[in-house]
Chain A
Amino acid sequence: MTGKTRLVSVLVVAAAAAVACSHPAPKTAPAPAQGPNQDSINAENARRDSIARADAARRDSIAKAQADADRLRNGRDAATKALTQVIYFDFDSDALKDDARSSLDSKITILNASPDVKIRVGGNTDERGSDEYNLALGQRRAASAKRYLTDHGISADRIDIISYGEEHPVATGHDESSWSQNRRDEFEITAGADQIKGAP
């Protein structure tokens, strides 16, 4: 190397060193108080930061609670809907058909998950037949649903039954399409409606 090249290298190294040395050191702590103005500014900044953090945390918490509640309500609505779903019967019969059984099975699940819930089963008939005998038939239809539930472990004191005979039709036509809608058990929640849960 010539004398000139060595000088340039030294100068470059020196410049690099100078540049390196002129980088400020990373800040690890606020500088010691330099006077009242800087102090309060820093405190105010800190306060605002913590408020902002608290607000954010609260918003998150509310959003989460909302989501939970929605999920819960949707679940409760679904459970209520399944628990109060109507089941239907054939003419002059109190026998449970397949779709009636599966509806009752859903009700069993919900009742098991919701120990505070009580229900009343209302038995109904179509308009044909004697008004008086139909009261007994409606009673039998309600008892039939209750027996299925208690046979599957639901406590009998959680289920009331009542008959409406042909007195509470939902359809008033004089044909099978109306009659078939009226031959039914209805399920009414009589306690614990706000505690109702879906699957355990």
Chain B
Amino acid sequence: MQLTQRLITCAAVLAACLVPACATAQQQDTTRGVRIGLTYQPGTKPGVVVFPVSGPGGDSIQAIVARDFDYGDRIEVIGGDAVAQTARTQASKNAIDFTIWKSLSAAAVVQISVMGSTAHVNVYDVAAKKLGASHDITVSGAPNTEDWRMSVHAMSDQIEQWITGVHGIAATRILYVRGNRIYVIDSDGFGEHAVSEAGTVLAPAWAPDGHTIAFSELARTGWNIVIRDIATGRQHTVTSTPGGLNITPAFSPDGQWLCYAHGAENGTDLYMVSASGSGEARRVTVGRGSDNVSPTFSPDGARLAFTSGRAGHPEVYTSDADGSNVDLLTAFNFGDQNYRSNPDWSPDGRLIAFQSQLDGRFQITTITLRDRTVKQLTSEGINEDPTWAPDGRHLAFTSSRTGVKEIFVLDAESGRARQLTHDAGARLAAWSRGTGAP
């Protein structure tokens, strides 16, 4: 009783606060980042109903937005036939009856109507029985084209920010290797297509601009780093260190630098070159004959994590971006086999994900930088090559749990995993930056 009274009081207060904010929002069509401040049980996900969407591509938009919310693992999408029927009726009458939604534990109702290239989005606060936020968002291109899908995903991400305070990751893409090409796929598994010529290619990486990638390619005399604009198809080879082994490229977060591993006849070391690949490469690690590969930058670009065999077996090390202050990160006894590799630094800088050999199989593992707490995230099959989503909560990785290598997506918080690719042999994923992240 007391709790309900408190909730109602909260809701009333919020509603009172929100009304003037609402009026302002309606006047400013392009206001961004307004959080509704819904009330819902702490530790649970807010329940959200997505109304049928009117306008061109409306059915697709409703399906995409509902799926984006579900895949984000921060919202409980309230669905089912009865819900759909009720929603359709209310939408057609343009009259929202909040009592029903409250009884279904919904915290918000999302109502989208599209006219031309503008999507008008109303988000209703169910507890407050009021409109919580109202904004116009541009949806570009013809329905169901790649650009259109991405702009609908951007709309989902924005709405998720209003409801949960966290910007969604729907408007992102994942690179990976399958067979003899690099592929890209939208975060929801749609739009998969090749973005490289045929060849023996590995280790794709995104530049922060979202359309430039780097990868390594086998040539007659060794491995080359290739930088390619996947929007135009134009590419060039990084020639700063010709010949030999040139692999595992990574762009710095500011897009200025490219770090990669170069090996000739005495071990493999990390090198740094300008992001265009021109100019002299500067050596970063002094491996003294050991192998140092797979660099990942900290989000502020000041540090690197990488795999090194300098201890006699692969471990994850960190260092400053110029190679000084090398530190063994994975200095723990976790499993009987010492093989830790393929680090990826989380976007918030707190964690490094990597693969660790446990009972003869690799598993995705995280370690916090502050206190070196280790957490094992997977246990089924062989799981490798983790890459963080921009929300620092989801990871894509290679898994053999279905019997063949496929890319899976994992929510590190809830442990929920979903299969992203469905053609055997996908591996070495790289998750793009968010678009329009705050």
Contacts and interface: CB of A to CB of B under 8 A. Distances in A.
Query: Which interface residue of A135, A137, A140, A147 has the most chain B CB atoms within 10 A?
Result: A135
Interface string A33-52: 00000000000000000000
Contact of A131 (B223, B265, B266, B428): B428
Contacts of B218: 164, 167
Contact of A130 (B222, B244, B268, B355): B355
B314 A130 contact: yes
Interface in A80-131: 92, 129-131
B263 interface: yes
Interface of B is mostly: strand
Contacts of B339: 129
Contacts of A140: 263, 267, 291
A62 to B, nearest CB: 42
B265 A135 contact: no
Q: Interface size bucket, A side?
A: 20 to 34
Interface residues of B, number: 33
B18 interface: no
Given A92-B313, A162-B221, A163-B223, A132 B265 contact: no
A13 to B, nearest CB: 100
Contact of A136 (B221, B293, B313): B293
Given A129-B339, A130-B341, A162-B221, A135 B266 contact: no
Contacts of B202: 131-132, 135, 165, 167
Contacts of B294: 130, 132-133
A196 interface: no
B342 A136 contact: no
A60 to B, nearest CB: 47
A164 B247 CA distance: 12
A160 B221 contact: yes
A161 interface: yes
B263 A132 contact: no
A143 B266 contact: yes
Interface of B: 200, 202-203, 218, 221-223, 244-245, 247-248, 261, 263-268, 291, 293-294, 307, 309, 313-314, 339, 341-342, 355, 384-385, 427-428
Given A129-B314, A136-B267, A163-B245, 12 more contacts: A129-B341, A130-B342, A131-B202, A132-B248, A133-B294, A133-B342, A135-B247, A136-B309, A139-B291, A143-B265, A161-B265, A167-B218
Among all A-B residue pairs, the 6 with the closest Cβ atoms: A136-B291, A136-B268, A130-B341, A143-B265, A139-B245, A139-B263
